[in-house]
Amino acid sequence: MAPAAAHPAALRLRLLLSPLRSRIPAPQTKPAAAFGTAVTSAKVAVNGVHLHYQRTGEGEHAVLLLPGMLGSGSTDFAPQLQSLNKKRFTVVAWDPRGYGQSRPPDRDFPQDFFERDAKDAVDLMKVLQFKQVSLLGWSDGGITALIAAAKYPSYIHKMVIWGANAYVTEEDSRIYQGIRDVSKWSEKARKPLEALYGYDYFAKTCEKWVDGINQFKHLPDGNICRHLLPLVQCPTLIVHGEKDPLVPRFHADFLHKHVKGSRLHLMPEGKHNLHLRFANEFNKLAEDFLQ
């Protein structure tokens, strides 16, 4: 486990300037179609809510992209929607309930919100009539993917996760508290989410997320989904950016140890948003693993 920061002011500066800018990309224009296949958007009723998703590609292999905290398909996965092989894959990027365009309802964080997202994600793909899917899950989306793979093993073919954790430590909690007040974020970090949500919803939901994720710290061993890891049966690739300031390396090592047969791939220059900053490298890594 990495040591706690010795200088809170330095930690705060690092949190507000470096990871937040890297975690939240600037708004992307809709990607151009590749292989003559456009990115389409729609909403569909799933488990009592209307979930928004984007879809592209014409391949037999269905892949679901699961975004991170406050994220959506369009803000979190533009390079993947644009560039993943559209002949080999059918790619779906969803907005979990309360995020992106999957509103109403407003986002809330009961203790089972990750399990709820996992069921929503799987049921969305079943409504779209995919018989089996692979998962690409980033950050909170990686946690959701782990739970989905554990609870619906026959439905999940393969899985790639990065920036995810199976439990919450005191160190994690300090990092979360550092991003609680969005008025202290850099302007570059705030703008995309203000544009997506409006300032009030953005600020309120960030505070609710911090409270929601911190509730796991009070459970035995800070448990989110560590008890489910032995149930994961699908081939799993865990990617970790060695310069990720939001999710310490020990989380990736724990996942690798407890997900049977998993592979761990380290990106020395990667931060939390490694799939955006190093999109070509990440996309090739994911495609090679999924094929």
Element (H, E) at 204: helix 199-214
pTM for the full predicted model: 0.88
- The CATH number of residue 76's host domain is 3.40.50.1820
Torsion of CA 46, 50, 56, 61, to 10 degrees: -10
Is residue 184 situated within a structural domain? no
pLDDT digits (tens, 9 = 90+) for 24-54: 443 343 443 434 479 999 999 999 999 999 9
Give the pLDDT of residue 192: 84
Active site residue 139: yes
Mean pLDDT of all residues in the chain? Answer: 90
Angle between helices 187-197 and 199-214 (to 10 degrees): 100
Is residue 174 situated within a structural domain? no
Q: How many domains does the chain have?
A: 1
User: Which is nearest to 54 in space by CA: 70, 46, 66, 36?
Assistant: 66
Give the pLDDT of residue 22: 40
Annotated catalytic residue within 22, 139, 240, 262: 139
pLDDT digits (tens, 9 = 90+) for 59-97: 999 999 999 999 999 999 999 999 999 999 999 999 999
Annotated catalytic residue within 61, 240, 272, 275: 272
What distance in Å separates the CA atoms of residue 167 and residue 49, rounded to the nearest whole number?
Answer: 28
Mean pLDDT of 267-287: 97
Using DSSP's 3-state secondary structure scheme, residue 91 falls into strand
Do residues 170 and 4 make contact, with C-beta atoms less than 8 angstroms apart? yes
Token reading at 87? 């002949």
Note down the domain range covering 257.
40-168+223-290
Is residue 125 situated within a structural domain? yes
Is residue 146 situated within a structural domain? yes
Is residue 81 situated within a structural domain? yes
Do residues 68 and 21 make contact, with C-beta atoms less than 8 angstroms apart? no
Is residue 116 situated within a structural domain? yes
Is residue 6 situated within a structural domain? no
Annotated catalytic residue within 134, 244, 251, 262: 244
Is residue 59 situated within a structural domain? yes
Active site residue 275: no
